[in-house]
Structure formats: C-alpha cells, structure tokens
Structure 1
Amino acid sequence: MQWQAESVRKVSGGRRRPAKNKRRAEIGRAPVDTHIGEPRNRIIRTYGGNNIVLALRTNVANVTNPKSGETKKVKIENVEQNTANPNYVRRNLLTKGAVIKTELGSARITSRPGQDGVINALLLE
C-alpha cells in the first residue's frame, strides 16, 4: 500500500511541515486485474462508510447497440485489443477502453471494472 497524500518534501528539497497526520483514507490500493472467468466480486469499505464493488473475475458484459439503443447481457469470449497495455490482451485483462469479443460481436468497454464491479460496453461496427 502506498500513501497518496501530499509529499513531505518541497520541490526545492526542503521539508514541508504537515498540518495534519496521515489518514487511513489517504492510503491507495493495488490495482485490480479483472480477468475473464466465473463472476467473483470483492466489497471494500471506502471513505465515508460507503462501499464499492471490485470485479475480480467476470464472464458477462452489458453491451449496448448505439444505433438501436438496446442493451443485452452477453457472454465475453476474449480480449481482442487493449490500448492500455499490449500484454493485457495475452492475459485477458478487462480494463476501460479494451475491445472485447462477445456473442454479438466486438465491443469497447466503457466502465471501469476494477472500480464499478460491472462491465458496460458499446457495440462496435
């Protein structure tokens, strides 16, 4: 885990005197690598007592056809392209912007699976 608040050091290298101590809410998390597989989620408590759902594995996506506006829940077959990292295609990692192959055809993921817990995608032509 890494502390993600303002640094103690200034740009000049001098020390900045903090006005407050470190807070638990300022700690970051390791990235969630969402894979294709049997659905598995993790619920995490966040700032303010709220909860977020992390999708660890999933094999379905809510795919919307932009022309008709119709949305269907379809099975994900594999990852075709990922501009975030070419290695993610080999590992079948699902991230925002990745192009996935579904039963309806190719679709681009518009949600953030590691933070939203679901996969929403737009059908490509």
Structure 2
Amino acid sequence: MKDQGRSKRKRTGGRLRRSHDKKRHQLGREPAETTVGEPRFQIIDSRGNNRKVRALSTDIAQVAVDGDVTEGTIENVVENPANVNYARRNIITKGAVIETSEGRARVTSRPGQSGQVNAVLLDE
C-alpha cells in the first residue's frame, strides 16, 4: 500500500505543521496530460520491477457498448470534471466525456497511468 503521509490536522482539528520538507523519494512526477492527437507513448520505471506506459497523446478509444467493445476514434473532449480548462485544451483524464466515432463516451481508465483510453458509451 502506498504511504500517503500523515494528516495535516490534529484530532482536535488544529493544524499540524510540517517538520521537514519532502524527501526526493516522496515527490511525485509531473502529470502526463494526455491530449487528443497522433499516438505518442512514454515508458516509465515504477516501483518494483514494473513499468508504466504513459499516453502523451492518443486518438483511439476502446468504447464499451452494451457489453461489446469497439475501437473508436476520438474527435475531441466535450467536458472534463478534473479541470475546466482541460476540455478546452483537449486533455483526457479519467471521468472526461469525449466525442468518438461511436458517440459520446465517459473515460473509465487513466491514460497517463495505463497508456490506453477505455470508455463507456453514454445514453443520450
């Protein structure tokens, strides 16, 4: 299990101040911010002898329609609850609503972590 660090509040609700700055192994990486475009990927070493495939940009989505999965082309990002500006910048994250060749779909995967876009068709 990943260590999330201690709480920023005491049991009484008071604020706990940091005793030291974060160490290098506690720092996170920059977000991938997957965009719509020609597929580009980046392989990153992760904890253990594992690797992550980051999708830097992609235009293909696996869209689930009533149990059947079809490959669709991503046209653009309609809305993104993670950040208001992500929809304008065509950035895909989990939960984003994308316009595909199959119709509007909600992203269920994390493209910056898994390297692929899985989505479920919306009933509209």
For the superposition of Structure 1 and Structure 2, which TM-score range results when normalised by the shorter chain? 0.7 to 0.9
Q: Does 1:50 align with 2:26?
A: no
Question: C-alpha root-mean-square deviation of aligned residues, in Å?
Answer: 2.4
Whether 2:109 is the aligned partner of 1:111: answer yes
What is the CA-CA distance between 1:49 and the residue it aligns to? 1.9
Distance 1:123 1:45, change over 3 A: same
1:75 and 2:35 correspond: no
Structure 2: tracts of 5 or more residues without a match:
none
- Describe the SS at the equivalent of 2:48: helix
User: Which runs of 5 or more residues in structure 1 are unaligned?
Assistant: 17-21
The corresponding residue for 1:19 is none
1:14–1:123 distance in 2 versus 1, CA, 3 Å = closer
Task: Give the Å deviation of 1:27.
Answer: 2.9
Quote the sequence identity (%).
49
**Given the two structures, how large is their TM-score scaled by the length of structure 2?**
0.80
TM-superposed CA distance for 1:62, in Å, is: 0.3
Q: 3-state SS of the aligned residue for 2:94?
A: coil
Cα distance in 1 for partners of 2:49, 2:60 equals 29
Aligned residues: 113
TM value normalised by structure 1: 0.80
